[in-house]
A and B are shown apart, each in its own frame.
Chain A
Amino acid sequence: MSALEYHVLLALASGPLHGYAVKDAIVHESSGALVPRAGSLYRVLARLLTAGLVREATPADAPAHPGLARRYYALTARGRAALGEEARRLMQTALVAEKRLGIARSRS
């Protein structure tokens, strides 16, 4: 799973969002490390939609948003599971990395 995919799923984990809100959430949650441009973002969204990890939300379960009418995206159950799995994997690899770096530091 690419970093951008992970962050899209992460953004949708708190509830359905429209495309622009997804982008804002990614910029915010990656502390500005990821600034997805339109082309990349929507390709990732398309991939996740095709893979069934994300679905289009019906406007009823999305909060009302002033301004332009848009599509909303939401996590599917599979998407939620995939996100959880990826998060665990990241946590474990982070632990391993910490441990190794810790050992390396004490050796030097």
Chain B
Amino acid sequence: MTRLLRLALRLFPVPFRAQFGTEMAEQIEHDYAHARARGRLTAIGFVLATAWDLAHSAVAERWNPTWTCARPPLAEDTGMRSFAQEWMRDLRYALRFLRRTPSFTVVTVGTLGLAIGVNAAIFSVVDRVLLTPLPYAHPERIVHIAASAPGSGFPEEFGVSAEFLVQYRERSKLIEDISTSNSFTNTLRVGDRVERVRMSWPTSSLFSTLGVRPILGRLPVDADEDKAAVISYQLWQSWFGGDSSVIGRSASMGGGNRTIIGVMGPSFHFPDDATLLWISSTVRATGITPGRFNNPLVARMKPGVTTDQLARELTTLSKELPRRFGGSNNYAKLIEKHHAVVRTIEEQMLGSVARPLWVLLGAVIIVMFIACANVANLFIVRAEGRQRDLAVRRAIGAARSQLVRAQMAEAIVVAGLAGIVAVILARVSLPAFLRAAPQGIPRLGDVRLDGATVLYTLVAALVAAVACGLAPAIGASQPDLTRLRDGGRGATAQRTWARNALVVGQTALALVLLIGSGLLVRSFWALRHVNPGYTTENIFTFQIAPEGPNLRDGPSFARFDLEFMDRLRALPGVETVGLVENIPLNEGTATARFRSEDMGSDPDAGTVLNFTYSAGDYYKAMGIRLLRGRVFENSEQLSASGKVILSRTAANLLWPGQDPIGRRIRQAGDSSWATVVGVVDDVLQDDFRDKPQPLVYFPLVGPTPLSWAINSPAYVVKTRRAETIAPEIRALVKQMAPSAPMYRVFTMAGLARDSMLRLSFTMLTLGIAAGLALVLGAVGLYGILSYIVAQRTREIGVRMALGAEAGMVRRMVVVQGARVVALGVGIGVVVAVLATRALGSLLFGVKAIDATTFVGMSLSMLAIGLLASYVPARRASRVDPIESLRAEV
């Protein structure tokens, strides 16, 4: 590495170098050793900084010398002088030459700049989101702990309950610290400002588990009970203007007054970027009702412990739970099947976004290769054109190194300019990219075009320069001296082979991207045509959380809701209004164990079903089909009615093949039965990729007024003005419930779009990359065939003079192109078979190796290849034999 820097020393004028050269070299050596000892990145940074310093000092020294004391030059100096001077001269020539051929310069700089710029933008996202370590101490030792119990009817993976925390905290030998947290959207009120925000209730050990400190104030301790809160930097800035007197202030959070005791740093997010504050809570070893599975745990492992070891230990420890904490038979059965699920916090937080981002980075790197191949090709063509010139220079004694240098100088200038274009492009495109990106990618808000990205861009430009310049430079440095004799006709077979290899590579890589984006388009298409069980058109939805002295129990909230829905229905253009506790695509439903009256009296009998609450014309508004019976009447909503509606899957689970109307079910732990009055079609609650869940709909009032109170349902408004009705509804809310913030405001169409955003975003970006690759690939092929045709003008002229027909000549050229493209397609298909696996979970309704996509895309690639060959072929067939022969004489 330092040898490179020593070479850079030669850029200085001879007298300066004679005086200071040795000392400077020593200092560089010394500093490099220091930087190297502090890590590879530091060393790279040092080399780049020093190279820059040497380059601009040397230029400055030549421009404006500081050292003029004449000294006898050293013997080796003539060689050194010529080396540095010749480099400068070559760079100057290169610049001049590139200025003289603006189209070549624009095409090469543009192609490379585009590819490097896209790379830089994607890299800065990958760097910040995936490569930057999480802002916790030793993040590799922090793990997420959940539970799984195959064959129990529980979801594949679920949160645990308090007794697990206590048991693990006291008995585990492999963890240092453990914590749990519960997150909700709840009301935050500071003075007059009221909003619903995401907040979390962690045990005070959360902060020590993660190994983080506040930037202001202190962290909660167990003695704070639930009276203290730590706020995020973002909340501190937006609600308190970054005022440090915030410590000790009181605010209403999540239904109680808490004292703000600390402010976290700007990069601290847990469990997601949306959570704005953390309210202290404690979990004691006594008074726990076991089996309230709800929350995952976060723990810090001792050094050297693996997640597998910990999972085994925790699984063993959990088997003691029923003996220690009691619980029902069901609970004991569940614990028998229980396995602890342990994964690193990094995998938990970044696992789902890692794949699309790596796919994208892979795609733009492929585009980069294709761009390099194209530019290399252009350089080769240029070098070919200069064969004669180079042969003359070689013949009169130019060293090979000089010829290589002259060629490399152009590539370096082009790559340097492309690097500048790339940084500008990345600056412009990054904000657009971030705006288009799906919500919920952790740390996306922190993405900046930073030093690491610029470094990456520089390295990419350097690699591009070497890749584009080296092959043609070396090729050109051994010119065929016979060229001087035969007047410079014809291309050597070897070089044609090199260029064909580039086209084969380009075609193969472009095809891989095409097939990848084809699979995503098919997945998107399939997902768009999934029937979720409801319509997403013309539906507006929102939530409010009204408060007031009259609103205390189920019936009082129900009265408010029915009156509010009447007012909504009276708004102009509103067709139907209903409400549901958990609106699909936005909120998940809760689960509980239910049993039917036909299941006998065994307390452990029953199935796990999801449940929610509905009222008004919810099913009609959402377009959910009523399959049997009827829906709730408004009169059944105001007092205990004991009625219930089932989804089709729930009905089939409880009474397979029978009519459920009039039969009764009961939730585990409840004393009263509920009668089924209707069966409605299934809905996809969380995601269009899911299978429908069995769902039970309750009315607004339970068996007793305090069984439940639906205090913040999602209202569903069917109207053609779904996109524009929000202000009118806001005004109505202000009138009916002045202190209630309106939140979770969506159109169903918007929710549907968001739910597919991860796929559509990847599809779009990969599609753009594939499009770029295709255009670059076609241009590359066209360029090469045009060049070959130009080279063979004389030969073609002779053929035509001897009677070859235009059609035959065309065919000859097209076949030549087709052979190269076909080979590229063949290789591309093989690579794609391996590469499309990376798309994995992004795909829906289509296999990674989908014959239709593979064949279709391969044929398109071939067609485009043939088209790119046809244009030069046509030109070849119009060669005038007389002209072509005369031209060479």
Contacts from A to B (Cβ < 8 Å): 18-20, 23, 37-47, 49-50, 68, 70-71
Which of B25, B54, B55, B68 touches A50 (beta carbons < 8 Å)? B68
CA gap between A37 and B28 in the complex, in Å: 8
Given contacts A39-B57, A46-B16, contact A71 B23 (CB under 8 A): yes
> Can you show 17 pairs from A to B with CB atoms below 8 A apart?
A19-B23, A20-B26, A20-B27, A23-B27, A37-B49, A38-B25, A38-B31, A41-B27, A42-B20, A43-B61, A43-B66, A44-B66, A46-B16, A49-B67, A50-B66, A50-B69, A70-B26
Task: Give the residues in chain B near A44, CB-CB below 8 Å.
Answer: 66
Cβ-defined contact, B28 with A38, below 8 A: yes
Bound-state Cα–Cα, A18 to B22, Å: 12
Q: Decide yes or no whether B495 CB sits under 8 A from chain A.
A: no
Query: Which one of B16, B25, B26, B55 has the greatest number of beta carbons of chain A within 10 Å?
Result: B26
Taking a contact as CB atoms closer than 8 A, the residue among A37, A43, A70 that contacts B23 in the complex is: A70
Number of A-B contacts defined by CB within 8 Å: 63
Which residues on the A side are within 8 Å of B30 (C-beta)? Answer: 20
- Known A-B contacts A19-B27, A38-B28; the reply to A46 vs B54 at CB < 8 A is no
| Least distance between A13 CB and chain B CB atoms (Å) | 21
| CA gap between A50 and B67 in the complex, in Å | 7
A14–B124 Cα distance when bound, in Å, is 47
Interface size on B, residues (CB 8 A): 26
Q: Which of B19, B53, B68 contacts A39 (CB 8 A)?
A: B53
The proximity string for B residues 7-45 relative to A, scoring 1 for CB distances below 8 Å and 0 otherwise, is: 000001000100110011111101100000000000000
Given A39-B12, A42-B16, A42-B57, list of 15 further CB < 8 A pairs? A19-B20, A37-B54, A38-B24, A38-B25, A38-B27, A38-B53, A39-B54, A39-B58, A42-B20, A43-B60, A43-B61, A46-B16, A47-B66, A49-B69, A50-B68
Residues of B593-635 contacting chain A, CB below 8 A = none
Residues on the A chain within 8 Å of B60, using CB:
43
Whether A38 touches B67, Cβ cut-off 8 Å, given contacts A19-B27, A20-B27, A45-B20, is no
In the bound complex, CA of A23 to CA of B50 (Å): 14
Interface, chain B (partner A; CB < 8 A): 12, 16, 19-20, 23-28, 30-31, 49-50, 53-58, 60-61, 66-69
Specify the chain A residue showing the minimal Cβ separation from B52. A37
Contacts A37-B49, A37-B50, A47-B66 known; A42 to B26 CB distance under 8 Å? Answer: no
Tell whether, in the assembled complex, residue B66 and residue A46 are in contact, meaning their CB atoms are under 8 Å apart.
Answer: yes
The distance in angstroms between the C-alpha atoms of A12 and B291, with both chains bound, is 75
Contacts of A19 in B (CB 8 A): 20, 23-24, 26-27
List the B residue with the shortest CB-CB distance to A38: B24
Q: Which residue of B lies closest to A51 (CB)?
A: B66
A19 to B466, CA, bound (A): 35
Quote the shortest CB–CB distance from B126 to chain A (angstroms).
Answer: 30
Instruction: Give the contacting residue for B19; candidates A20, A46, A68; CB below 8 A.
Output: A46
Interface centre among A37, A46, A50, A68 (most CB of B within 10 A): A37
Known contacts A20-B26, A23-B27, A38 near B54 by CB under 8 Å: yes
Question: Once bound together, how far apart are the Cα atoms of A51 and B25, in whole Å?
Answer: 24
A43 to B12, alpha carbons, bound, how many Å? 10
Question: Which residues of chain B come closer than 8 Å to A43, judged between CB atoms?
Answer: 57, 60-61, 66
B17 and chain A: residue at smallest CB distance: A42
Which residues of chain B are within 8 angstroms of A70 by Cβ–Cβ distance?
23, 26
- In the complex, what residue of chain B is closest to A67 when comparing beta carbons? B26
Complex CA gap A71/B69 in Å reads: 16
Q: Is the CB of A42 within 8 A of B68?
A: no
The 8 closest A-B pairs by CB, nearest first: A39-B57, A37-B53, A46-B67, A47-B66, A46-B66, A38-B24, A42-B20, A39-B54
Q: How near does chain A come to B301, taking the closest CB pair, in angstroms?
A: 37
Closest to A41 in B: B27
Docked complex Cα distance between A39 and B12 (Å): 9
**Contact partners of A50 in chain B: CB under 8 A:** 66-69
On chain A, the residues within 8 Å of B68 by CB distance are 50
Q: Which residue of A lies closest to B46 (CB)?
A: A37
Q: How far is the CA of A60 from the CA of B373 in the complex (A)?
A: 62
Q: Is the CB of B57 within 8 A of A40?
A: yes
User: How far in angstroms is the closest Cβ of chain A from B379?
Assistant: 31
Tell me which residues across on chain A come within 8 A of B69, comparing CB atoms: 49-50
**Which residues of chain B are near A68, meaning CB under 8 Å?**
26
Alpha-carbon gap, A6 to B66, bound state (A): 17
Shortest distance between the CB of A24 and any CB in chain B (Å): 10
Q: Which residues of A contact B26 (CB under 8 A)?
A: 19-20, 68, 70
How long is the Cα–Cα vector from A37 to B26 in the complex, in angstroms?
12
| A71 to B27 CA separation, bound complex (whole angstroms) | 13
Cα separation A2 to B866 with both chains bound (whole Å): 64
Task: Report Cα–Cα, A42/B19, bound state, in Å.
Answer: 10
Residue from A20, A38, A71 with most neighbouring chain B CB atoms (10 Å):
A38
Chain A residues whose CB sits within 8 angstroms of the CB of B28 once the complex forms: 38
Cβ contact of B24, chosen from A42, A47, A49, cutoff 8 A: A42
The contact of B20 among A23, A37, A46, by CB within 8 Å, is A46
Q: How far is the CA of A37 from the CA of B61 in the complex (A)?
A: 15
State how many angstroms separate the Cβ of B53 from the closest Cβ of chain A: 4
Nearest CB of chain A from residue B842's CB, rounded to whole Å: 46
Contact A42 B23 (CB under 8 A): yes
B24 touches A39 (CB 8 A): yes
Q: Taking the nearest CB of chain A, how far is it from the CB of B20, in angstroms? A: 4
In the assembly, what is the distance between CA of A48 and CA of B26, in Å? Answer: 21
Most chain B Cβ neighbours within 10 Å, of A18, A46, A50, A70? A46
Minimum CB distance partner of B28 in chain A: A38
Q: Enumerate chain A residues within 8 angstroms of B58, measured Cβ to Cβ.
A: 39
Residues of A within 8 A of B23 (CB): 18-20, 42, 70-71
